[in-house]
Structure 1
């Protein structure tokens, strides 16, 4: 059995690595999405998992095709296209309030963008950045509002509770 696993890992090392990158991107997006689901936001675990996965698929297909490795400039253009396109997807989550002065959904739109970024880093195999980025994002989504309120109290400008974004 051990010999078979050893042969499999050597023979299909590239495919195993790509599968791990795709799974890492999906998991990073899903973790961010779980936070959004917990807070009853419109974009959740499945959507952000798919955003991360889609970004990783695009970056992998842009960097490796039929065994041909493209240069860094080609990968850079793929990343730019992903991040631009996801900006438009995220924009769909932004809504203007009735008074036309309050905007809602910016954090949700940002989570779409960050899930894409995490998908790109996982697709590139930048595991430390993927893990650290996921953890920092989860920290910010979990404790950001409390931290923001505390800092506003410390430094002066005290808005109403409803003025802080989601």
Structure 2
């Protein structure tokens, strides 16, 4: 068979296509790992798998090395932004894309295609459901800096309860004439919006992060 149409070349082309489908979604949403990254992850995983089968090496060891490598990439994608962690979904997508490439590399095309459809379903279709859940039950971290007064922070904890929000106290400390408190607060988005409006208009609050 002509090398341009050999099964191994076809595998790499399929891997590139599946990686592109997933990467387009990440690219469209402006994520750190987009079209090119997902294509390279898929192609690379397929290539390593093909090479391992040709060399007759332990496929399990090659697979574990691929997963380890993707772990390093995922670590670079995940980062902390203000009071929240970003990039976890993109890192998980890269992990799944590597698995797709491995499936293609060993010739499990049907599994690779079905898995690609499931990944795209999660990335596209479940977004509205996630947004609906967040509107009804959202977790935010609040950091409030105000002038030091007795029971000042306790007053804000009472405010959380009055608004129907569940708060878990974090680190609290005093710096000079100011006192700083942090809380993990959970509840509906509309109640969070009401809380932030109150805090932003509170003359006692010097700084607020949420």
TM range (shorter): 0.7 to 0.9
**Which residue does 1:59 correspond to in 2?**
49
Q: Higher helix fraction: Structure 1 or Structure 2?
A: 1
**Residue 64 (structure 1) shift:** 0.7
**Which residue does 1:37 correspond to in 2?**
27
**Which residue does 2:74 correspond to in 1?**
90
Aligned with 1:64: secondary structure? helix
Q: What aligned pairs does 1:15-34 form with structure 2 within 5 A after superposition?
A: 16-34=6-24
Specify which structure has the bigger relative contact order, considering alpha-carbon pairs within 8 angstroms and separated by 6 or more residues.
1
Q: Higher strand fraction: Structure 1 or Structure 2?
A: 2
**Which residue does 2:59 correspond to in 1?**
75
When normalised by structure 2's length, the TM-score is 0.61
Q: What aligned pairs does 1:69-148 form with structure 2 within 5 A after superposition?
A: 70=56, 74-99=58-83, 102-148=84-130
Return 5+ residue gaps in structure 1 as ranges: 1-7, 162-166
CA RMSD of aligned residues (A): 2.2
Number of paired residues?
A: 140
When normalised by structure 1's length, the TM-score is 0.76
Larger radius of gyration: 2
Return 5+ residue gaps in structure 2 as ranges: 139-188, 191-210
